[in-house]
């Protein structure tokens, strides 16, 4: 649907997916399912079975709250909004996009209200819980509130420092087929299993599928290659997690990824902690030169500066890791207000521009394509997703710091292109556990403490100052 389907197939595919969503919902929420879960609660189970049953119950309890008509309506509205977005975004057509988005927001609010009443929570917290179980907006306010006290100053210092360090830009064009070959070589270096996945092109990079068949995508630009390449690294991080989930439990909830933030921690560990490190960039550079030939901008020192460049920009997926959290906080604040009913869809562009000015000093007036229409997440009602990107970045920093302590030779290993010890650690402490443990337990077991944003700040200061 995202990579190969012709535009004319959208309506039929959307209807088919909506029907499947309803059938799946009927099976999951059937009275018999509830009875079986109740019976299973009474059985004598080992710890693993008990954890699996808890996940089953969580999925069931989440599903049984929502009526069939809403499941179908959300599926259809989301598909319609996403498909139209593909042509509306290049056309900078905010009025057309807003018409579809209003219906998505209306249905998302209805779902949020139903879930909030059952949970005794706010509407936004009810949706956030679907992506990051146990997380509340009060936690986000604390974490993001602290971030906002030091990130703007850090950003200014880094930009000022780097202004004194000249950096040459690679001269294109860069053939798309050659970029694809580079992508494949980097995926191989990162351990992607090509017998259980592939890479394609889509309007927005993503990772999807099942552990036995993981599909990732990127988007290419023949004027520059780094955006697509780092997109590949990011999605390969997602894919390696999926490909290494516990095989003995495939098809069971316990074999699924723990949460969206943990998933993002893996992609951001690959993209930011690993791929933007000087050690990794030294082994990445020869792969780039092998495809595009050498030029002054690809000299080792310049290549490292190029990939560690901090420059506030309009596009989230292209953002450096210092300015990236500002993009996430902006979206979180807008989507929370939208779901709670404090603002309406028509208010988004002005609020977006106000926050871009406040957090990144950038103007988006009239530029919807590179402003509030740039992302795909709101098109299908994934409200509550965006905060997990920065939570994931924080988990990634904490995990990588722990790995560095556990593997004293990690830096030398990376510089030699030997990533086996790093991947083995991730497999032992994160990947193989799937949803066996709650997020906090998983992180405490892996690092010795709960989420600690200090590691993220320390990482940024160490690398950029």
Question: Which residues are marked as active site?
Answer: 235
Structure tokens given for 388: 């997990």
Q: How far apart are CA 138 and CA 144, in angstroms?
A: 10
Contacts of 287 (CB under 8 A, 6+ apart): 182, 185, 186, 189
How big is the chain by its Cα radius of gyration, in Å? Answer: 22
Q: Is the peptide bond before 173 cis (omega within 30 degrees of 0)?
A: yes
| Residue 132, annotated as binding a ligand | no
User: DSSP secondary-structure letter at 42?
Assistant: T
| Residue 454, annotated as binding a ligand | no
Q: Show the DSSP H helices in 191-347 as ranges.
A: 226-243, 260-268, 278-292, 300-307, 324-340
User: DSSP secondary-structure letter at 170?
Assistant: P
Q: Is the peptide bond before 66 cis (omega within 30 degrees of 0)?
A: no
Structure tokens given for 290: 């092998």
- The CA dihedral of 443, 447, 449, 452, to the nearest 10 degrees, is -80
| Residue 264, annotated as binding a ligand | yes
- For the four alpha carbons of 397, 400, 405 and 408, in that order, the dihedral sign comes to negative
Q: Which residues are annotated as a binding site?
A: 234, 238, 264
Binding residues for Zn(2+): 234, 238, 264
């Amino acid at each position: 649907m995202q990579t190969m389907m012709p535009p004319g197939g959208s309506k039929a595919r959307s209807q088919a997916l909506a029907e499947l969503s309803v059938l799946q919902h009927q099976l999951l929420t059937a009275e018999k399912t509830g009875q079986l879960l109740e019976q299973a609660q009474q059985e004598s189970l080992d710890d693993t079975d008990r954890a699996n049953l808890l996940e089953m119950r969580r999925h069931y309890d989440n599903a049984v709250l929502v009526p069939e008509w809403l499941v179908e309506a959300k599926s259809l509205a989301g598909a319609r909004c996403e498909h139209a977005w593909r042509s509306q975004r290049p056309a900078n057509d905010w009025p057309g996009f807003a018409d579809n988005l209003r219906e998505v927001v209306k249905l998302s609010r209805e779902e949020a209200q139903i879930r909030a009443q059952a949970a005794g929570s706010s509407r936004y917290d009810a949706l956030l819980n679907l992506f990051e179980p146990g997380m509340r907006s009060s936690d986000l306010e604390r974490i993001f509130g602290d971030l906002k006290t030091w990130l703007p100053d850090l950003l200014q210092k880094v930009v000022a420092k780097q202004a004194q360090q000249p950096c040459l830009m690679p001269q294109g064009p860069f053939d798309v087929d050659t970029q694809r070959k580079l992508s494949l070589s980097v995926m191989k270096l990162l351990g992607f299993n090509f017998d259980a996945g592939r890479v394609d092109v889509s309007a927005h990079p993503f990772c999807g599928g099942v552990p036995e068949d993981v599909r990732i995508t990127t988007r290419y630009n023949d004027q520059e290659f780094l955006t697509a390449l780092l997109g590949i690294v990011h999605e390969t991080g997602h894919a390696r997690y999926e490909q290494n989930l516990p095989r003995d439990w495939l098809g069971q909830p316990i074999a699924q990824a723990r949460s969206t933030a943990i998933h993002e921690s893996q992609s951001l560990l690959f993209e930011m902690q690993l791929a933007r490190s000087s050690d990794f960039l030294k082994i990445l550079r020869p792969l780039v030169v092998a495809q595009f030939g050498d030029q002054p901008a690809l000299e080792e020192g310049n290549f490292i500066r190029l990939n560690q460049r901090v420059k506030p920009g309009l596009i989230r997926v292209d953002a450096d890791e210092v300015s990236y959290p500002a993009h996430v906080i902006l979206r979180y604040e807008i989507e929370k207000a939208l779901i709670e009913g404090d603002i309406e869809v028509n208010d988004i562009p002005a609020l977006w521009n106000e926050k871009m000015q406040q957090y990144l000093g950038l103007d988006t007036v009239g530029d919807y394509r590179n402003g509030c229409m740039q992302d795909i997440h709101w098109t299908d009602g994934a409200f509550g997703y965006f905060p997990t990107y920065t939570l994931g970045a924080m988990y990634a920093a904490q995990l990588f710091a722990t790995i560095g302590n556990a593997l004293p030779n990690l830096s030398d290993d990376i510089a030699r292109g030997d990533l086996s010890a790093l991947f083995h650690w991730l497999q032992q402490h994160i990947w193989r556990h799937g949803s066996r443990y709650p997020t906090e337990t998983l992180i405490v077991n892996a690092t010795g403490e709960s989420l600690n944003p200090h590691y993220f700040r320390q990482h940024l200061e160490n690398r950029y100052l």
